[in-house]
Structure 1
Amino acid sequence: MNPIYKQKILTALTYIESNLAQPLNLDVVSNHCHFSPFHFHRIFSGVMNETLNNYVGRKRLEKAVNLLVFRRELSITNIAFDCGFSSSANFAKSVKKYFGYSPTEIRSPKPDELPNIGDIFSKYGKKFNPNELYPAPIDQTRQNNNQMNVEVKTIERKRLCKLVSKGGYEPESLFETWDILNHWAKIQGIPEETQYRLAWCYDNPSLTAAHKCQYEASIEIDNTVTVNEPFGVGDLPEGKYAVIYVKGSPEDITQAQLYLFSCWLPDSGFEPDNLPMLERYLNDVRVDGFLESEIMLKLKVLT
């Protein structure tokens, strides 16, 4: 992609994520990116394989359901306004149409409920089940994940080389992305056994179709390394992080993430800082047959 176009799309995505409660029509977003509305609409749709209106609507609904599950102290009305809906009635109607469940049903799903097909399936092929948003019973979770030991660690700033997965969370795309990045790192003189590998996971796959999830692979580099397209430079900011060590299956990773948000975070005295969920990979699942990683979430003191 043309680097200028790429930067404008990234600017748009960041602006949208930060302003979901505000009006986000084509004129507003394109003006923020200093691009004509006509050309911006074509470029955005071509790059994202989704119109701007669809993208904004989907992001609002996904944020809303995350708030319904993980911020239970918020009322449905407050969540509706925080996510850019004009009323709780319009919000409830939109959630029901897209996910197949009402906000109340998502907050209190029935055990073993089968997916109720909504627009999320017809548009993206994703079967949504609200039970997947909640952790397994605590005894099972502790048994699977070494008692779910959460440590709060202070991590120093790290300079990173990053590469976007073109196919989101699709396994083939993830492996291809890491293979390309690992090969590049070896050429730079960073042996595979010493690589600090960090995945940036921006979306909840229980809510978002795998190919629509935003994912970046990254490896730590020093200041002497030059980075060119298609790679980018990023930073892991210094700060306090909640860290859970997990060894097992993909389901164990998912349960650790759900436990962190649903069980540990509410009583921790912290809230999430402005970073996505991170996974530090400690092995190659294709070689070992199991996953070994650290789930990381940047924290700030609850205010």
Structure 2
Amino acid sequence: MSEDLPPDARMRASRAEYARRMNRVLDYIDQHLDAPLDLAQLADVANFSRFHFHRIFAAWMGETLGDYARRRRLEKAAFRLARGSSEPVLDIALACGFGSGEAFARAFKQQFGHTPSEWRATAPQRAAELRAARHSNPDQVHSNPGQARPRPLGDHDGSLTLHGETEMEVHITDLPAARVAYQRLIGPYGPNIGVFWRQTMGPWIQSHGLQGQQCYGVGHDDPSITPPDKCRYDACVTVPDGFQPAAPASLATLPGGRYAVARFKGQPMAIGNAWMWLTREWLASSGLQADDRPSFERFDPANSIDPATGELTCDICIPVRAL
């Protein structure tokens, strides 16, 4: 870090670098939830002192590394249980890093107040309750990939009508992997995301000459499971080979493969309805299930918002595989 910078600028640059390193650790943890997590290895991922890393992590995240990993394992399991597949509970437990079904059931009941089987069985009821809550709280309507969402009006035939005017059709297609630069927002979803794009990611894209590149929004957490202040959202833009962003941006690859893709066009507050219909209704009757790759919204920033009507246009993309 340059000593020529004014103190305030040095402080901002230092915090941005810390954020980028911690995001690398959070991404690594999510990719290895099915395996033991080694403190020294995580410190190396962040390029922090092994001696101090645990204290740095706890101060930055507001919870210890052990508590964070346990929470993320349980949240991942809760999402898999609620997504409508017939995957055995024991398989979910092992895939999320638990050594036995008994240990998983105890931890799950302690965290969520339900057994894993009860959580799966009551998923439709919780979705309906969330829908009612969001209709009374518009700030939480603009949801993001991977979240439980309010249920829309619509049939079960592969298309969706919102407010009698917007129709969605779902196509199964193979998408290429995308190399992106991203900045991460940690906190409640909703209007914060639009503010983050306008005030943080949008200016960063322009200052780096990336206007016109494909953009993606990746919400990693389900706010009906994850505490709102812990939810993670990545604002992403496609970058060319060789591009190396400075802090606070980081590089990632959105994996390619088979996706269910639906074009959304409507008022931003209605996108939560679209996500709900896709993940709770269309997916359940499609013969497919979501896998563990990230879901996302894909859009062209130059054409995503109609200035006259305020309508949003984007593709909702959900990774799928056979049941």
Gaps of 5+ in 2: 1-13, 131-147
SS in structure 2 of the partner of residue 162 of structure 1: strand
Once the two structures are TM-superposed, the CA of residue 67 in structure 1 deviates from its matched residue by 1.6
Distance change (3 Å), C-alpha of 1:240 and 1:225: same
CA-atom RMSD, angstroms?
3.9
Which segment is superposed worse, 152-161 or 94-103?
152-161
Tell me how far 1:203 sits from its aligned partner: 1.5
Partner residue of 2:61 out of 48, 56, 65: 48
Q: Which residue number corresponds to residue 283 of structure 1? A: 304
1:40 is displaced (CA, Å) by 1.2
Residue 230 of structure 1 aligns with an amino acid whose one-letter code is P
Give secondary structure in 2 for the equivalent of 1:98: helix
Identify the residue that residue 20 of structure 1 maps to in structure 2. Answer: 33
Give the 3 Å change call, closer, same or farther, for CA 204–260 of structure 1 in structure 2: same
Q: In the alignment, which of 231, 236, 251 is matched to residue 249 of structure 2?
A: 231
- Counterpart contact for 1:284–1:291, Cα < 8 Å: yes
Higher relative contact order (CA 8 A, sep 6+): 2
Runs of 5+ unmatched residues, structure 1: 116-131
- Mapping of residues 1-303 of structure 1, within 5 Å: 1=14, 9-24=22-37, 26=39, 29-30=42-43, 37-70=50-83, 72-109=85-122, 111=125, 135=151, 139=155, 142-144=160-162, 146=166, 148-156=168-176, 158-167=178-187, 169=189, 171-172=191-192, 174-191=194-211, 194-223=212-241, 227-249=245-267, 252-265=270-283, 272=290, 275-281=293-299, 283-284=304-305, 288-299=309-320, 302=322
Counterpart of 1:103, as a letter, is P
Q: Percent identity between the aligned chains?
A: 30
Alpha-carbon distance in structure 2 between the residues aligned to 1:218 and 1:293:
14
Provide the rounded CA distance (Å) in 2 between the counterparts of 1:72 and 1:173: 30
Seen in structure 2, the aligned counterparts of structure 1 residues 16 and 156 have a Cα distance that, compared at 3 Å, is closer
Measure how far apart 1:188 and its partner are.
4.0
**Contact 2:93 2:100 survives alignment (8 Å):** yes
Count matched residues: 284
| Alpha-carbon shift at residue 5 of structure 1 (Å) | 5.5
Shift of 1:246: 1.7
TM-score normalised over the length of structure 1: 0.72
The structure that is helix-richer by fraction is: 1
Q: Could you give the per-residue CA deviations for residues 42-101 of structure 1, whole angstroms, max 9, x where no partner exists?
A: 121122222111111111111111121225312333323332334434433332332233
Q: Which residue of 2 aligns with 1:127?
A: none
